[in-house]
Amino acid sequence: MDRIYFDNASTTPIDKRVLDAMLPYFSDFFGNPSSVLIEEGQMPGKAIDEARERVAELIHAEKGEIIFTGSATESNNLAIKGLALANRSKGRRIIFSDIEHFSILNQADFLTDLGFQIDYVKVDGYGIIDMGDLERKVTEDTILVALIHGNLEIGTIEPIEEVARFLKKRGILLHSDGTGTCGRIPVDVKELGVDTMTLSAHQINGPKGIGALYIKRGTRLTPIIHGGFQEMGYRAGTENVPYIVGFGEAARIAREEMGERMAHLTMLSKKLREGLASSIEYIHFTGHPEKRLPGHVSFWIEFVEGESLLLWLNLNGIASASGSACASNMAAEDEGGLKASHVLTAIGVPPEICHGSITFSLWKDNTVEEVEYVLSVMPGIVKRLRDMSPLYENYKKTGARTI
Amino acid sequence: MAKGPYSDIVMDHFMNPRNMGEIEDADGVGEVGNPACGDMMKLYLKIEGDRIVDAKFKTFGCGAAIASSSMTTELIKGKTIDEALKLSNEAVSEALGGLPPAKRHCSVLAEDALRLALEDYKKKKGLA
């Protein structure tokens, strides 16, 4: 049976057109772009320049505001550490939202060791930033806020413009992780008002191992990888030319096809969401109902555990993701490594319960037939797991909804 | 050959759980929950003389929790109470072809459920 891939928030396959664009730069045009005076270096240098232009166009930035990095994780590290270090004479406090990616959150200890203090801003039940809490958390000493643009686990899109306006009045910088949005929905960094923004290639049919950071012109940022003068001095290391070219091509295609993709995905996710809502009892959709990524359907189901749900979907040929504790970190040394998703915890899903959370993230190649197939197998899987659930048995006997 | 983190035996017991269900007139019932993962396991025993003649389970949990419950019922059916009390979580894990380190607590959960079910039986019989 053909697999149904509904896990595009984890990664997407490389578009054939992207791969074709990349291939010559592995061998035919192998030169080092820093070797500007020899022919071998000139062609790759030009290719990087064009890719930078394409990525800039995707988010309405200028070419000189785009830096290529090794991943979105690296971009988030460069932005936060780079802005913090460049502005430490102004203040030592940084605010992270509770639903940031690990590549933001896990910088906290390192930054604390450097003398910074991290404060956390809450989100509401939909995952939208709590502006009142932000106002309370901002101090004279606050220099930077990190707020993700589109959360890949619950799909919610944050009101970046509003936050940027609020922060600008107070002279505070704003970094936004646009991994989930750049290339999926229209992004205009000037309208959003961000100072830095992270982009990822593999989220939009580009290769893994390449990311980018938008750095608004005039922003002071201290590099964290030191070496040669690549990427305008912000990121040393010989450029990964084929991957940069691939990112550029993926960005071009994403921009040109965005309109039709969004319409297609909106139709698919509406059908999927409505179908699940009408066929499964005690299902709770997560994230904001409207302000969300197209094609993103996330939920949790009572009396059913997430990893078991995910495994059964997989056995039925369907790829999905789960934020449940049980499914969290299979490689952990012990059960201490198992934690329910911090994003679900932040929006108020009970953390002590191993809930049946699932994220379906659809993308351009998914079809109505696939949605219909998923809808046809889901009720059976849920029934099977509920039939063996002591929680469901207890609910039927006592009416107790322990979750 | 298993492709994922679980052994073929774990996947087999996950997909085709043995002895899943309830025993209405069970002689001993053990229910345990694990806060680390949120698993819930309920084990029902039917005991005649000092022998476990039937065992059934219901489990809310991950693949390892379901497989551990299923395997435990298989391992104790037909055993005497004393024999069943000797069943360790390592034996459950071993019978399953091993569990990922982060999931070993699932086999501990099964062992705990078994002990509680046997204690419950002894209490009911006035043996404890």
- Averaged confidence pLDDT in chain A: 94
Q: Are A299 and A285 in contact (CB under 8 A)?
A: yes
pLDDT one digit per residue (tens) for chain B, 128 residues? 567 899 999 999 999 999 999 999 999 999 998 655 678 899 999 999 999 999 999 999 889 999 999 999 999 999 999 999 999 999 999 999 999 988 888 888 899 999 999 999 999 988 76
Smallest CA–CA distance from B63 into chain A, residue: A308
User: pLDDT at position A327, please?
Assistant: 60
User: pLDDT at position B127, please?
Assistant: 76
Any B CB within 8 A of A327 CB: yes
Q: Does residue B128 sit within a domain?
A: no
In the CATH hierarchy, which fold is given to the domain comprising A16-254? Aspartate Aminotransferase; domain 2 (3.40.640)
Question: Looking at beta carbons, which residues of chain B come within 8 Å of A329?
Answer: 102
User: pLDDT at position B2, please?
Assistant: 66
> Active site includes A326?
yes
User: pLDDT at position A44, please?
Assistant: 96
Q: Write down the number of H helices and E strands in chain B.
A: 5, 3
Q: Are B85 and B16 in contact (CB under 8 A)?
A: no
Residue B46 φ/ψ, nearest 5 degrees: -115, 120
Question: Looking at beta carbons, which residues of chain A come within 8 Å of B73?
Answer: none
Q: What is the 3-state secondary structure (H, E, C) of A304-360?
A: CCHHHHHHHHHHCCEECECCCHHHCCCCCCCHHHCCCCHHHHHCCCCCCCCCEEEEE
Q: Are A67 and A232 in contact (CB under 8 A)?
A: yes
Q: Does residue B3 sit within a domain?
A: no
DSSP state of A158: P
| Segments in chain A below pLDDT 70 | 1, 324-338, 351-355, 402-403
Task: Go through A299-330 and write b for each residue having 16 or more CB atoms within 10 A of its CB, e for each that does not.
Answer: bbbbbbbbbbbbbbbeebebbbbbbbbbbbeb
Q: What is the pLDDT of residues A215-261, one digit of tens each?
A: 999 999 999 999 999 999 999 999 999 999 999 999 999 999 999 99
Kind of pairing, strands A93-97 and A117-121?
parallel
**Sign of the C-alpha dihedral, residues A34, A38, A43, A44?**
negative
What CATH number has the domain bearing residue B56? Answer: 3.90.1010.10
User: pLDDT at position B39, please?
Assistant: 83
User: pLDDT at position A351, please?
Assistant: 61
Decide which of 3.60.21.10, 1.10.3720.10, 3.30.70.580, 3.90.1150.10 is the CATH code for A4-8+258-398.
3.90.1150.10
Domain range summary for chain A, segments of one domain joined by +: 4-8+258-398, 16-254
Q: Does residue B2 sit within a domain?
A: no
User: pLDDT at position A68, please?
Assistant: 98
Total number of domains constituting chain B: 1
In angstroms, rounded to a whole number, what is the distance separating the alpha carbons of residues B31 and A286? Answer: 31
Q: How many percent of chain B have pLDDT more than 70?
A: 94
Check if the interface score ipTM surpasses 0.95.
no
Q: What is the pLDDT of residues A255-309, one digit of tens each?
A: 999 999 999 999 999 999 999 999 999 999 999 999 999 999 999 998 888 889 9
Any B CB within 8 A of A329 CB: yes
Q: Which residues have C-beta within 8 Å of that of residue A287, sequence separation ≥ 6?
A: A126, A127, A151, A154, A155, A156, A296, A298, A347
User: pLDDT at position A19, please?
Assistant: 98
User: pLDDT at position A17, please?
Assistant: 98
Q: Which of B10, B11, B14, B60 to mutate to test the interface with A (most CBs of A within 10 A)?
A: B60
Q: Are A110 and A85 in contact (CB under 8 A)?
A: no
